[in-house]
């Protein structure tokens, strides 16, 4: 069976503006990711007492799994108006994880599965990135609604 899906270009526009003392600062940047052919998007409730796996990154597509090398864009938006959520990027092979706080009403996005995490106190990034294995969400004090979108080739 031949596919009827024609890969397309994802366009992401980031814009910010702030006016201080009558002077406006900020900017708008647009970037594009070509050859995008798969999208997973969902609004879901994220529990505060456990890590919720939203995307696994592997070597073959499956239910809840995308091909890590094909990741073009991942965004999560915290739809809650009170509590923060943590976005946890995990690699079991190296035993590393990073957690990033996403405030109420805020978003976090990234365009690669390559991360760097270190478990010692030295600042010694040596240029070796680790491929992420999974992305988890965890709410702070109470469950939060979050939206995520994951785009791959």
What CA–CA distance (Å, rounded) separates 90 from 134? 5
Spatial neighbors of 122 by CB under 8 A, at least 6 apart, are none
Does any domain span residue 3? no
Q: 103: domain CATH number?
A: 2.60.120.380
Strand ranges in 47-106 using DSSP code E only, listed in sequence order? 52-58, 65-67, 71-78, 85-91, 96-102
Closest to 111 (Cα-Cα) out of 152, 79, 146: 152
How many distinct structural domains can be found in the chain? 1
Does any domain span residue 19? no
The pLDDT tens digits along the chain (153 residues) read 577 899 999 999 999 999 999 999 999 999 999 999 999 999 999 999 999 999 999 999 998 899 999 999 999 999 999 999 999 998 877 677 889 999 999 999 999 888 776 666 566 666 567 778 999 999 999 999 999 999 999
Does any domain span residue 56? yes
């Amino acid at each position: 069976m031949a596919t009827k899906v024609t890969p397309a270009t994802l366009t992401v526009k980031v814009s910010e503006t702030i006016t201080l003392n009558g002077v406006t600062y900020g900017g708008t940047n647009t970037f594009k990711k070509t050859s995008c052919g798969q999208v997973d998007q969902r609004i879901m409730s994220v529990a505060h007492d456990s890590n919720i796996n939203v995307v696994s990154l592997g070597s073959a597509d499956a239910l809840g799994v995308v091909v890590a090398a094909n990741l073009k864009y991942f965004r999560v938006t915290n739809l809650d108006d009170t509590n923060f959520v943590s976005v946890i990027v995990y690699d079991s092979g190296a035993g590393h994880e990073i957690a990033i706080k996403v405030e109420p009403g805020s978003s976090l996005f990234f365009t690669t599965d390559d991360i760097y995490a270190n478990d010692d106190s030295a600042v010694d990034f040596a240029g070796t990135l680790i491929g992420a294995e999974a992305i988890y969400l965890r709410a702070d004090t109470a469950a939060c609604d979050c939206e995520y979108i994951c785009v791959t080739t």
